[in-house]
Structure 1
Amino acid sequence: MWVIATAGHVDHGKSTLVRALTGMEPDRWAEERRRGMTIDLGFAWTRLPSGATVAFVDVPGHERFVPNMLAGVGPVPAAMLVVAADEGWKPQSAEHLAALDALGVPHALLVVSRADLADPEPATRQALAQLAKTSAGDVEAVAVSAVTGAGLDELRAALDRLGAALPRPELDAPVRLWVDRSFTIRGSGTVVTGTLGAGRLAAETDLELNGAAVHVRGLQSLGEPVSTVDAVARVAVNLRGVERSAVARGDALVSPGRFVFTDLVDVRVHGEPVAGLPASVVLHIGSAAVPARVRPLGTDTARLRLDRALPLHAGDRALLRDPGLHRVPGGVTVLDVAPPELRRRGAAAARALELSTMDGRPDVAGELRRRRLVHAGELARMGIPAPGAGWLLDPGYEAELRTRLASEVRRYAEAHPVDPDPPVDAIRRRLDLPDRALVERLLTPPLTIHNGRIGAGQRLPERLRRAIDAVRAGLAEAPFVAPESDRLAALGLGPKELGAAAKAGLLLRVADGIVLLPGAVEAAVERLAALPQPFTLSEARQALGTTRRVAVPLLELLHRRGATRRLPDGRHTTDAGA
């Protein structure tokens, strides 16, 4: 399906032309028919000679209904500009063309209507000259009369050529369906309609509406129920459990987690200089019309503060309208949907310089350079497909973080000589990183992570090493005679120092204040296994040549490790199967 919007001055025959092409009535409301003018959006469709279907979004031409016109033009990829042969170029012809140009619509067809009332050549030349100055450029022109039928076959053929020139839609793109109508059908509930510009819609799937999850109950396209709809297409979506009052024109149904809902954007303005823009404008995108405050940043860049958040991507095209003077001062390209705050002196000037290098096209390297650290999922929500998943780091920032990490580890070791290996989370906080996985990614030899701490290979302080060596020497003579607490205190070995020695693998911490050599478990099992099984605590103490103070916690350690077992009668055994 191809979707094309009409455009042109009031009463130049847009709706009459659509009616002649489709046999359908685009003016839906009795008031529109009574007054002979389109007030709101109309929709109709027909099959072309090629077999392709073209759907028309018929927009109002009257100056008072330009916002309704923009709601219809915004989401579509092509336009049919209608100019009456007997009246020629008119004010709304110019405003509609300015809107198409501001939105960057590159595909258009000129139709000179009412060719039975006047020579179409003057109006054709005048309109083509105006079109040539815009994004549409040189376009095909067809003169028709909806009354006599002259030129309608040529118009159908021209529409076929226009449709064939349209770019192929991105079916794997996220869905963003701007709502242009919403209503209730008895027995079905709330239904919304819109133009699907990209992606694929399917029934019985979930979407987001104003940040909340909604379920697609059913779909219709061209009046028929369907299970899926591929872009570009007109579509009606039946939503389950959504009140009619909860959705309106300008809302959007979007793929979950694929858009940033933002009320602050940095944009490039195409048209009038930014300095000449009014302080307040209306931003038109899709079917949405949202008041916005303008903060100029550069000669052609500005920051817009929207009255409500919209689902936007970098690269989106929109237009600005001055509602007070009823004019379109320009279009905008969205450059950044998550811009930084501008609080420091000189921040605005620096931001203007930065924006001057951006064009709204996906640029992963540029985003990483500007943001330094960002999650791939967040980039995707901004409309910037990123390679891989997880956290992405700018290479320069990553090198800086590695240097800082090594420095922070050294600082921690200097401040904690007895326990020099810092917890991973301590370093993560010092580097202001959102995820400990980033700390692991930044580690380079000799730094490693063990038991939640970063091992930097630091040697224990010499004083501590000498004290530990004295303990080890005593244990070498009597392996199970743990030094008494006063001996440890005399050597300056408190709980923290003994913990550092155990962590370094120099001592085995059996219990608080009781340390042995690292091989004490294996040596104890060997001695106890030589005893008649089972054995008592007293027999174990005598075999190990130690005191009850050491034997009790040592046996408990052996039990925990599965080297020995305690029997119901209180005796012990090294026989695991006894």
Structure 2
Amino acid sequence: MEGKGLLEQNLATLDVRNLTSLTPEVISRQATINIGTIGHVSHGKSTLVYAISGVKTQMHSLERIRNITIKLGYANAKIYKCSCPEPECYKATGSDQNDCTLCEKCNELRQLVRHVSFVDCPGHDILMATMINGAAVMDAALLLVAGNESCPQPQTSEHIAALEIMNLDKILIIQNKVDLIPTVEEAKAHYEQIKNYITRTKAAASPIIPISAQLRFNINFVLKYICSLPLPVRDFLSSPRLIIIRSFDVNKPGQEIETLSGGVAGGSILKGVLKIGDEVEIRPGIINKTSAGATVCSPIRSRIVSLYAEKNPLQYAVPGGLVGVGLKVDPSLTRQDFLVGHVLGLPGELPQIFIELEICVYLLRRLLGVKSDAGRSRSDKIPKLKKDECLMVNVGSTSSGGRVLGVKTAKAKIELTKPVCCHIGEKVALSRRVDKHWRLIGWGDITNGQTLQV
């Protein structure tokens, strides 16, 4: 479906040296900043995204039945500004709308000032790895805290710790569900509770905005904050690299062979520009074991046949918002998120594939996100890593099991259950099995490792 009144992109006249995140033909069709929605389960993350973008991120049948987010959701929105007083001057629409719309109040054209992608993360404790995968592509985050529950709830603490690990400091605190707070005094007390909590975190200087996402109350204040965020510095000139956070097969059951479409990879470009017609490589690709038990990888080679930012077709895609890359590849290789955690780029230009990592380890002081038998949040001291213990390791958008091969002071060597495409210096998040769930215990910086030949 072609967007209405969008500016045309032309590959024949494209000069990547002239591109910016605010180039009209870029921002017209594609989001250029990724904003995560994080927080405890049922605190209104998906509802807020819907209030701003008009898109329901819970697309899978199980998510709709249970009314929770299970997989990473995503939605794009355009934010406009007119001559009305602030914050009434801000308005958001879907991504495929015209770049200029008429304000009914001041009777002047609204100007497009931001085009954003929302990465909607699950809040349930058993889906912490999915949230960390989403954090890998975030430029900023909205932390939602429900006004009808005390602060912090277990995953409130765990999510904000994950942002600190990813070194993300652009955070807006949303006091949601204020319509469910009985009195003004209780609302103020809850506000102070949030304020006291964040003073101990990296979000200490973050503003707190009371809203009701369900009633769309104070949403324009959230839009004002988003528009105040400086656009991240982007690298348009390097070889492109896209981190994959979703992949799927768009073909319907029983579709004729002649009309089959190739697989689709969805993610965010970290650097460079992808164009229709580019030959690309996906790493690690197809992973197998030899008869001797050794892991071997066969990177996938393909060609880009289409690019989309939600409903908007693109001729080229730049770093920033989430895009869908249509590939000339067997769709069975992309169905059911098979390629999540893989990296896409030009052949021969991607990082190496590691099966063992050597990292500098930094453990959290206390265990987060665990409730005691009495229902209160528990705070346990985290024991040091031990040889042969099993961990969950998050690298970029990849989740892999890991076995500790050795520990020496603040360094550890970890054998991965599946290979990852990454580079020296990249951050990893570490989780340990506690009370039958994976809990965030710390992070590390990759210093070395064992690579696989491809």
TM-score of the two chains, using structure 1 as the length reference: 0.55
* 1:293-323: CA deviation from partner (whole Å, max 9, x where unpaired): 2245443222222122211112212211113
- What CA distance in whole angstroms lies between the structure 2 residues aligned with 1:222 and 1:299? 47
The equivalent residue for 1:52 is 114
Q: Runs of 5+ in structure 1 lacking a partner?
A: 340-578
**Where does 1:561-572 land on structure 2 (aligned, <5 Å)?**
none
The equivalent residue for 2:219 is 152
Shift of 1:256: 2.6
Name the aligned partner's letter for residue 254 of structure 1: G
- What CA distance in whole angstroms lies between the structure 2 residues aligned with 1:4 and 1:113? 17
Shift of 1:156: 0.6
1:110 aligns with 2:173: yes
Shift of 1:181: 2.0
- What CA distance in whole angstroms lies between the structure 1 residues aligned with 2:407 and 2:228? 42
Shift of 1:114: 0.6
**Where does 1:30-45 land on structure 2 (aligned, <5 Å)?**
30-45=61-76
The equivalent residue for 2:400 is 290
Partner SS, residue 178 of structure 2: coil
- What CA distance in whole angstroms lies between the structure 2 residues aligned with 1:114 and 1:120? 10
Question: Is the contact made by 1:6 and 1:80 (CA closer than 8 Å) also made in structure 2?
Answer: yes
* 1:377-428: CA deviation from partner (whole Å, max 9, x where unpaired): xxxxxxxxxxxxxxxxxxxxxxxxxxxxxxxxxxxxxxxxxxxxxxxxxxxx
Question: Is the contact made by 2:264 and 2:331 (CA closer than 8 Å) also made in structure 1?
Answer: no
- Equivalent residue for 1:252, pick from 319, 343, 361: 343
* 1:75-120: CA deviation from partner (whole Å, max 9, x where unpaired): 2222111101111321111121122222222221111101122244
Name the aligned partner's letter for residue 323 of structure 1: R
Partner SS, residue 31 of structure 1: helix
The equivalent residue for 1:500 is none
Question: Is the contact made by 1:86 and 1:114 (CA closer than 8 Å) also made in structure 2?
Answer: yes
Shift of 1:184: 1.8
1:180 aligns with 2:272: no
| Larger RCO (CA under 8 A, 6+ residues apart) | 2
**Where does 1:69-108 land on structure 2 (aligned, <5 Å)?**
69-88=131-150, 89-108=152-171
- Decide which structure has greater strand share: 2
1:269 aligns with 2:379: no
Partner SS, residue 37 of structure 1: coil
- What CA distance in whole angstroms lies between the structure 2 residues aligned with 1:244 and 1:110? 41
Shift of 1:199: 2.4
Deviates more, 1:222-231 or 1:44-53: 44-53
Q: Runs of 5+ in structure 2 lacking a partner?
A: 1-31, 82-112, 252-259, 286-298, 366-381
The equivalent residue for 1:412 is none
- Equivalent residue for 1:208, pick from 277, 281, 289: 281
* 1:477-522: CA deviation from partner (whole Å, max 9, x where unpaired): xxxxxxxxxxxxxxxxxxxxxxxxxxxxxxxxxxxxxxxxxxxxxx
The equivalent residue for 1:221 is 309
Question: Is the contact made by 1:277 and 1:329 (CA closer than 8 Å) also made in structure 2?
Answer: no
Partner SS, residue 189 of structure 1: coil
Question: Is the contact made by 1:104 and 1:317 (CA closer than 8 Å) also made in structure 2?
Answer: no
**Where does 1:13-24 land on structure 2 (aligned, <5 Å)?**
13-24=44-55
Shift of 1:13: 0.7
TM-score of the two chains, using structure 2 as the length reference: 0.69
- Equivalent residue for 1:194, pick from 264, 267, 273: 267
Partner SS, residue 76 of structure 2: strand
Percent pairwise identity = 27
Question: Is the contact made by 2:36 and 2:118 (CA closer than 8 Å) also made in structure 1?
Answer: yes
- Equivalent residue for 1:61, pick from 95, 114, 123: 123
Partner SS, residue 137 of structure 2: coil
1:280 aligns with 2:345: no
- What CA distance in whole angstroms lies between the structure 1 residues aligned with 2:345 and 2:116? 24
Name the aligned partner's letter for residue 345 of structure 2: V
Question: Is the contact made by 1:221 and 1:235 (CA closer than 8 Å) also made in structure 2?
Answer: yes
* 1:196-251: CA deviation from partner (whole Å, max 9, x where unpaired): 23322222112221223222222111321111111112010111133423643222
Structure label with greater radius of gyration: 1
- What CA distance in whole angstroms lies between the structure 2 residues aligned with 1:34 and 1:12? 18
Alignment RMSD: 2.4
- What CA distance in whole angstroms lies between the structure 2 residues aligned with 1:78 and 1:113? 18
Question: Is the contact made by 2:385 and 2:407 (CA closer than 8 Å) also made in structure 1?
Answer: no
Deviates more, 1:233-242 or 1:71-80: 71-80
Say if 1:129 and 1:177 are closer, same or farther in 2 by CA, change over 3 A: farther
Question: Is the contact made by 1:313 and 1:337 (CA closer than 8 Å) also made in structure 2?
Answer: no
**Where does 1:309-328 land on structure 2 (aligned, <5 Å)?**
309-325=419-435, 326-328=438-440
Say if 1:257 and 1:134 are closer, same or farther in 2 by CA, change over 3 A: farther
Question: Is the contact made by 1:76 and 1:195 (CA closer than 8 Å) also made in structure 2?
Answer: no
- What CA distance in whole angstroms lies between the structure 1 residues aligned with 2:441 and 2:197? 17
Name the aligned partner's letter for residue 78 of structure 1: A
- Decide which structure has greater helix share: 1
- Equivalent residue for 1:300, pick from 410, 435, 441: 410
